[in-house]
Amino acid sequence: MAKKAKEAIEKNTSTEERIKEAARRVFTQKGYAATRTRDIAEESGLNLALINYYFRSKEKLFDIIMLEHLQLFIHSIMGIVNDESTSLQEKIEILVGHYIDMLIKNPNIPIFLLNEINADPKKLIAKIGIDKIQHGHEPVYLMKQWMEIAATKKMANINPIHILMNFVALTIFPFVGSPLIRNRTGLSIEAFNKLMEERKKLIPIWINATMNSALYDNGQ
Amino acid sequence: MAKKAKEAIEKNTSTEERIKEAARRVFTQKGYAATRTRDIAEESGLNLALINYYFRSKEKLFDIIMLEHLQLFIHSIMGIVNDESTSLQEKIEILVGHYIDMLIKNPNIPIFLLNEINADPKKLIAKIGIDKIQHGHEPVYLMKQWMEIAATKKMANINPIHILMNFVALTIFPFVGSPLIRNRTGLSIEAFNKLMEERKKLIPIWINATMNSALYDNGQ
DNA sequence: GTCTATAACCTGATAGAC
DNA sequence: GTCTATCAGGTTATAGAC
């Protein structure tokens, strides 16, 4: 026990953590159904039985990974969207930067999450419980700012959900489609990531452009 | 044999076709790994053994469905993108309309395709062969028009791949994220589809706005 | 062509030695 | 805590009756 704890501190990789890291990689890459507990054992360099020893079942281990990923998406931005000292435009810039940095590090989390949610939407809500990925129900300051801007720009004729969809689509979709994009264009990972870095500046400009364009173009 | 053929013509559903239809539904919804041949048999109302009788294996049946879906995405637009009588702006409008109509009918094809491609990118290219989803290598007329526009608008400072990504992202992403979006917003399927119908008009406007915005905003 | 029964294999989980 | 061996249940695919 003492030896184990020491090793864990030194290498920062207890057996439990090594399994979780392996599970993160394999689940995220192949999805729940296509992942065998044997794959995780192999990836971790440990034994099959240890997975059940530490996590009781494949499903319980999966739930832990899933929750982590959801929190990575939600929790990490709470400080940003509730910051009363930044403007809406600044928030958009910061959020795009934050997400693109995270996605360059973890490019296949979005497709993993979207696919698992799609496979069984109810399951996640029932099992994980929305309360675990949400900081209570305090109103988000970003929303307040958004509504103000929308009112002054007379964007009432366009559903704000469109702008939110566009923000998420422009930021996340390239990563979701990355294998296809890279295959069709012949882009290396480095070249692809360079494009994503460019988008940190471009997306806020585009979001702004779409918000303004709706002002006059949509009244035809 | 004669009876079977007659029935197939009358009801347009031979046993083989009934299996394919069931497989389309189940594979598209749950993905390859999570689908059991029993699910397909059940969904088709037929016997388990018939799947292997007609298609030899689960994998071969899957490949057929997969190829169909890929072709649905690629083949169906060849007439549009190579039409020399329409402008680039018109093509964008037609393409957005075409895809949104198709996606309202088949909302979970994109997440299915993207997930399977992500699970094993090499497999698809090796197995399906890119030649089967591409009409040879004739240059696409849309590309020619695009390059002309890009040159006149002096968009040389922005990689055209961004605009292509934006087009695909704005059109397809809402469907990929639909379960999550609908869960968070409480939108019914009908309300969601109504939003998508709105996007048929909005996306071409937005694409135009982003192309123009890059002209002056990106030079800072 | 279609069905039932079953073979052959795979996967998650556990028992028990160390 | 960690490993090997194995069980129990489920899955694909096929054999053989009709």
pLDDT in tens, B58-92: 999 999 999 999 999 888 899 999 999 999 999 99
Most confident of A69-78, A126-135, B28-37, B124-133: B28-37
Nearest to A119 among B34, B168, B208 (CB): B34
What residue type is assigned to position B82 of the chain?
N
Fold exhibited by the domain A1-56: Arc Repressor Mutant, subunit A (1.10.10)
pLDDT in tens, B112-153: 999 999 998 888 777 766 666 666 667 789 989 988 887 877
Cα A200 from Cα A21, distance rounded (Å): 29
CA A40 to C1' D14 (Å) is 32
Where are the domain boundaries for CATH 1.10.357 in chain A? 59-213
* 3-class DSSP state of A87: coil
Nearest to B205 among A165, A170, A217 (CB): A217
Q: Which range is least confidently modeled, A183-187, A202-206, A210-214?
A: A210-214
- What letter would DSSP give residue A182? H
Confidence of residue B191 (pLDDT cuts 50, 70, 90): very high
CB contact under 8 A, A162 and B198: yes
Fold exhibited by the domain B59-213: Tetracycline Repressor; domain 2 (1.10.357)
Confidence at residue B6, expressed as pLDDT on a 0 to 100 scale: 52
- Choosing among A99, A116, A118, A196, which should be mutated to test the B contact, i.e. which has the most B CBs within 10 A? A118
Say which residues have a Cβ less than 8 Å from residue B8's Cβ, sequence separation at least 6.
Answer: B14, B17
CB-strand contact B42/D, under 7 Å: no
Where are the domain boundaries for CATH 1.10.10.60 in chain A? 1-56
- Is the CB of residue B161 less than 8 Å from the CB of residue A194? no
- Is the CB of residue B27 less than 8 Å from the CB of residue B106? no
